[in-house]
Amino acid sequence: MADYKMTIGGEMIDSAQTLDVINPATEKVFATCPDATMEQLDAAVDAAQKAFRDWSQRPIDERKDLVRQLAANVAKHRDDLINLLVTEQGKPISNATKEVEFTSYFAMTTAALDLSPEVLRDDEQMRVEAHYKPIGVVGAIAPWNYPLLLAYWKVFAALVAGNCVVLKPSPYTPLTTLKAAQLFNDILPPGVLNVVSGGDELGRWIVEHPGVAKISFTGSSATGKKIVAAAAGTLKRVTLELGGNDAAIVLDDADPEAIAEKIFWTAFNNSGQICMAIKRLYVQDAIYDRMCDALTKLAQTVTVGEGSDEASMLGPVQNRMQFDRVRGIIEDTKQKGRRFLTGGDVPEKPGYFIPVTLVADAQEGDRLVDEEPFGPILPIIKFSEVEDVIARANASEYGLGGSIWTSNVERGSELAAQLDSGTVWVNQHSVVLPDIPFGGAKNSGLGCEGAAEGLKNFCQLQVVNVAR
């Protein structure tokens, strides 16, 4: 097995205990990673605190230049990172390629953001400026669906803002994150970026650690609530990007055949394991059957298989826990007597494979509609009145994203403003870019990532008020 180590204070560090890493396409252990001790976390936080003294004082242009060098290093080692992503996460080669390329692009875009002081008032009485100061040590906790991109998007923003980082990858997908840190070690000063691997207990230690000033977390809403409670003792700043149950509303003036491909891949890309994927599809009754038919035809062309097979368009669900959850939702849907257009039968073979599953005539009250499946299954729900469907979409405890699909863009924009979501799209969905802020409403999160607004989430606001 390859040797994967943690990065602490610029050194490659092992641990006496290890965690198995499973290939979700085979269910076999193919590598191990260190399982950090509390003492090793203390060392990582201490290294970050010491590095912060110099890093925070460096001109921001120097910090940006180093982040650009990180982007170049990702591009240089793209093949190694792609292969590792495919094996530990399960996604097809094409998806892994996009993730690696997006990671480099996100680094470059983040390095172009501005944190200059803002003049709030300038008159004969006073000049008032808003300054954005680094906070200190950022504890970044990353998920398993996009283990490289979502981990390092946090890191790039934190570093540009002048912070140092202790990063924890998911125990399901730690290897790409650990590998990237090793690639970055010759670029960044020791202690600026530390990566420690371990299970849920390590995450709790990071959140509670008195030397960590801010937590940036992407993951489930249930875990996000625990983080808020645990961070309260030290009044840590917290940014949370949590779960979603995004509703897409298709109005009867839309063309089902023209929009089916966009809707399908927004729901099923990465095997549905995207927080802002379409997870509830509401279709107006006049075009309901056409929409169902168009999506069914697309689903029948999709190949599900090992990510390493270039013919695969979708890979397995990433881990056993998520696999069992999606299977449970499928069984509940069958018991409700809903109509399966495709899928629904999980193959008895190695790997966490679930076929593309489309379910017609689902209703609120079904687990499939009320919960976030986070897998390759989509309910298609019929509606008649627009006012009613807006209310039904908003009834969810989540509020990450939503979309309106219509030939009347002006009407779509008006209806979009009525959805209780952090982001609402018209005639598209899941378009997230590093120069546009992204965050959730309700149980879908606190704060935002991306653009200047996201960068400021890694800063302490300081108002400088000078009397004339």
Residues serving a catalytic function are 241, 275
* 3 state SS for 384-416: CCHHHHHHHHHCCCEECEEEEECCCHHHHHHHH
How far apart (Å, rounded) are the C-alpha atoms in residues 59 and 406?
48
CA torsion angle 429 432 437 441 (round to 10):
50
How far apart (Å, rounded) are the C-alpha atoms in residues 226 and 99?
29
Q: How many CA atoms lie within 13 A of 399 on its CB side?
A: 19
Q: Which residues, in sequence order, are bridge partners of residue 468?
A: none
CB 352 within 8 A of CB 24: yes
Q: Which residues, in sequence order, are bridge partners of residue 462?
A: 131
Q: Tell me if residue 146 falls in helix, strand or coil.
A: coil
How far apart (Å, rounded) are the C-alpha atoms in residues 306 and 351?
9
Using DSSP bridges, classify how beta strands 377-383 and 423-426 pair: parallel, antiparallel or unpaired: unpaired
How far apart (Å, rounded) are the C-alpha atoms in residues 189 and 15?
23
CB 132 within 8 A of CB 161: yes
Other Cβ atoms less than 10 A from the Cβ of 411: the count is 15
Residue 92 φ/ψ, nearest 5 degrees: -60, 160
Using DSSP bridges, classify how beta strands 377-383 and 357-360 pair: parallel, antiparallel or unpaired: parallel
How far apart (Å, rounded) are the C-alpha atoms in residues 442 and 424?
14
Q: Which residues, in sequence order, are bridge partners of residue 122?
A: 127
Other Cβ atoms less than 10 A from the Cβ of 311: the count is 8
DSSP class of residue 155 equals H
CA distances from 157 to 88, 145, 211, 267, 459 (A): 25, 20, 19, 28, 10
CB 404 within 8 A of CB 251: yes
Classify residue 208 as left (phi > 0), alpha (psi -120 to 50) or beta: alpha
List the alpha helices (DSSP H) in 210-336: 221-231, 256-268, 288-299, 320-335
How far apart (Å, rounded) are the C-alpha atoms in residues 182 and 311?
32
Other Cβ atoms less than 10 A from the Cβ of 346: the count is 17
